[in-house]
A and B are shown apart, each in its own frame.
Chain A
Amino acid sequence: MKTLLPILLGALAMVLLAVGQTMPDNATLEKLAKGQKEEGLSCTPCHSLRLVHSQRLSKATWTKELDKMVGWGCKIQDRDNLMEYLMTYFGDDKPAIPPVLSKDGMPRKGQ
């Protein structure tokens, strides 16, 4: 556990930096974890999560997006926690993420 602690502390610091607020309590973290699980279940059958994580939307706009996805056959079981998670990390008051580049997909010379 002693070797794990610095890693865990680092991870927590990253999460807190991303969230930009003081340390959330256990209940909030549990909701966020549930929201994240719901994101995986609801969204990934049709698209990668990058599409979600690159957006910064208001609650009203995320609500409309979820409604659109439900209309397209998405079955969301735990909508409250999903919304909490989306607003915590991808709300319109959160900073935009810097562009992520794909790795080079060209064949290497000699291949």
Chain B
Amino acid sequence: MPFTRRNLFATLASAAVTSQIAKAADDPVAIPGKRPMILHNDRPEDLETPVRYFDSWITPIEVFFVRQHLPRPAAIDNDAYRLTVNGMVSKPQELTLADLRKLPQVTVPATLECTGNGRAFYTPKVPGIQWGRGAIGNAEWRGPRVSDVLKLVGVDAAAAFIETNGADSPVASTPDFVRSLPMAKAMHPSTILALSMNGQTPAIHGFPVRLIVPGWDGTSSVKWVVRISAQAQASSGFFMNPGYRYPKYSLPPGTPARPAELEVIEGMPVKSSITAPEDQSKAPIGPVEIRGFAWAGENAIERVEVSTDGGGRWRDAQLSPQKLPFAWRMFSFEWHPSDPGYYTVMSRATDTAGRVQPIVSPWNPSGYLWNAIDRVGVTVEKSV
């Protein structure tokens, strides 16, 4: 291309336009009701909690992560709300919110974690939202047991699954977000239709009514539930197959899934994350508090160990008192680095079933269930 003044201006103009469009598309927006969150997507909302907010056992709603597959449904009028319960039941019903409130209400503290939390740490890269440590939160969920709702409608003993649909609907020809849950887990006394979260009913988190399947991947906990159907078979829709499946046998990194060998994800693995100090941060020489959280799906956390020398020596961290299935425990460790320099700080959790966090989280084509021993780099500086 001959280099002329006109060419130069054309090139510059084109580049400027490209840059402006890219910038406009990426300008940050405010999400009503949320503090500044790591913005993976604003339409629909996919918001990650910055680790600095993880300093309490209950995660406040204003910083709780959000993962939407489809655009949020229009605001649901509590008086007009109906839950259709049908399928293999003797008395199909349309339940109101008042009907659900009449059933015994239980409170379940449970950690909710996106199946793809930590996806950004996998190599090679896999498609999907590039979550770091913060697609997770711990809340107190309250509402009736799914088992009580199923009793109300006379569920057939031969029904093996409940299929749950939310009020969110597909765009273009995307599949609807429909999930199936095996009956044994649906009947578990801690599986509830939550009518509140930390005492509130935020629409962005699926209220007035959402499913809470404690200890299982977040995608099981369907939001804005409007239909529950008792069925003999699991749904065959995209979000059950191939979505949210994990290889039965580990694959070499970067290789495609074998569809026949993918299994539905159920309980979550044992895991810990360091929330302070932050990765690649600096700390003055002196006491440094290492903090984080650990959880283990359907089990409780037994132990968290911390290493400040890249995994050579491990020491027990202090744990918060809540030794519960489904809910995380916070950990802390007071570290006294004696020398300045760069340190690799690591955390390793063990659960009540004896599961220990691995050094390597198995690569999988969708980047699910990241649970490798966590590590952050910290530069300790001489006091000035």
| A interface list, Cβ under 8 A from B | 1, 5, 7-9, 11-12, 14-16, 23, 25-27, 29-30, 32-33, 36, 40, 45-51, 53-58, 61, 64-65, 71-74, 89, 92, 96, 99-106
Neighbouring A residues of B129 by C-beta, 8 Å: 51, 54
How many residue pairs bridge A and B at CB < 8 Å?
147
Sample of 11 further A-B pairs with CB below 8 A, known A27-B1, A72-B174? A8-B15, A50-B25, A50-B26, A50-B40, A51-B41, A61-B127, A99-B38, A102-B34, A102-B36, A104-B35, A105-B30
Beta-carbon contact of B42 and A11 below 8 Å: no
Cβ of B22: which chain A residues have Cβ within 8 Å of it?
36, 53, 89
- Which residues in A have their C-beta under 8 angstroms from that of B47? 102
Residue pair B12, A11 in contact (C-beta under 8 Å): yes
Q: Is B263 an interface residue (CB 8 A)?
A: no
- Asked if B172 and A73 make an inter-chain contact with CB atoms under 8 angstroms apart, the answer reads yes
A48:B16 contact, CB within 8 angstroms: no
- Find the A residue at minimum CB distance from B254: A58
Q: Which residues of A contact B98 (CB under 8 A)?
A: none
Q: Which residues of A contact B1 (CB under 8 A)?
A: 25-27
Q: How far is the CA of A50 from the CA of B45 in the complex (A)?
A: 11
* Among A5, A45, A72, A96, residue most surrounded by chain B Cβ atoms (within 10 Å): A72
Is there contact, CB below 8 Å, between A57 and B125? yes
Distance (whole angstroms) from the CB of A20 to the closest CB of chain B: 14
Does B316 count as interface, using CB distance less than 8 angstroms? Answer: no
CA distance in complex: A72, B47 (Å): 24
CA distance A58 to B125 in the complex (A): 8
Cα separation A65 to B124 with both chains bound (whole Å): 16
Q: Which of B21, B44, B50, B127 has a CB less than 8 Å from the CB of A57?
A: B127
User: Which chain B residues have a beta carbon within 8 Å of chain A's beta carbons?
Assistant: 1, 7, 9-22, 25-26, 28-44, 46-48, 50, 62, 120, 124-130, 132, 171-175
Residues of A within 8 A of B18 (CB): 15, 29, 32-33, 36
Q: Which of A23, A30, A47, A71 contacts B41 (CB 8 A)?
A: A47
Contact B30 A103, beta carbon cutoff 8 Å: yes
Q: Decide: B125 and A53 in contact? CB cutoff 8 A.
A: no
B15 and A26 contacting across the interface, CB-CB below 8 Å = no
Q: Which residues of B contact A99 (CB under 8 A)?
A: 38-39, 48, 50, 132
Task: Knowing A47-B41, A105-B32 are in contact, say whether A72-B173 is a contact too (CB < 8 A).
Answer: yes
Q: How far is the CB of A36 from chain B (nearest CB, A)?
A: 6
Given known A12-B11, A47-B43, A55-B127, contact A101–B50 (CB-CB < 8 A) = yes
Which of A23, A54, A57 touches B40 (beta carbons < 8 Å)?
Answer: A54
Complex interface: chain A residues within 8 A of B40 (CB):
50-51, 54
Task: Find out whether the CB atom of A72 lies under 8 angstroms from the CB atom of B14.
Answer: no
Which residues from chain B contact A57 at a C-beta distance below 8 Å?
Answer: 125, 127
A11 and B174 form a contact (CB under 8 A): no
- Report B-chain residues with C-beta under 8 Å of the C-beta of A106: 33-35, 62
In whole Å, how far is B161's beta carbon from the nearest beta carbon of chain A?
25
A7 to B37: give the CA distance in the assembly, Å. Answer: 31
The closest CB in chain A to the CB of B68 belongs to: A47
In contact, B12 and A12 (Cβ under 8 angstroms): yes
Q: Which chain A residues lie closer than 8 Å to B10 at the CB level?
A: 26
Which residues does chain B contribute within 8 Å of A12, judged by CB atoms?
11-12, 15-16, 19
CB distance from A39 to the nearest CB of B (A): 9
Query: Cβ of A61 and Cβ of B126 under 8 Å apart?
Result: yes
CB distance from B231 to the nearest CB of A (A): 25
Residues of A with C-beta under 8 A to B39: 50, 99-102
Assess whether B130 is in contact with A55, with CB atoms less than 8 Å apart.
yes
Interface pairs (29), CB distance under 8 Å: A5-B12, A12-B19, A15-B19, A27-B1, A30-B14, A33-B14, A36-B22, A46-B171, A47-B44, A48-B25, A50-B40, A51-B40, A55-B125, A56-B125, A57-B125, A58-B125, A61-B126, A72-B172, A72-B175, A74-B172, A96-B130, A99-B39, A99-B48, A99-B50, A101-B36, A102-B28, A102-B31, A102-B36, A102-B38
Give the distance in Å from the alpha carbon of A106 to the alpha carbon of B132 in the complex.
23
Contacts of A36 in B (CB 8 A): 18, 21-22
Cβ-defined contact, B42 with A50, below 8 A: yes
- When chains A and B are docked, how far (Å) is the Cα of A58 from the Cα of B21? 23
Q: Which of B13, B41, B126, B174 contacts A48 (CB 8 A)?
A: B41
**Top 5 nearest A-B pairs by Cβ distance?**
A73-B173, A73-B172, A11-B16, A103-B30, A8-B12
Q: What chain A residues lie within 8 Å of B31 (beta carbons)? A: 102, 105
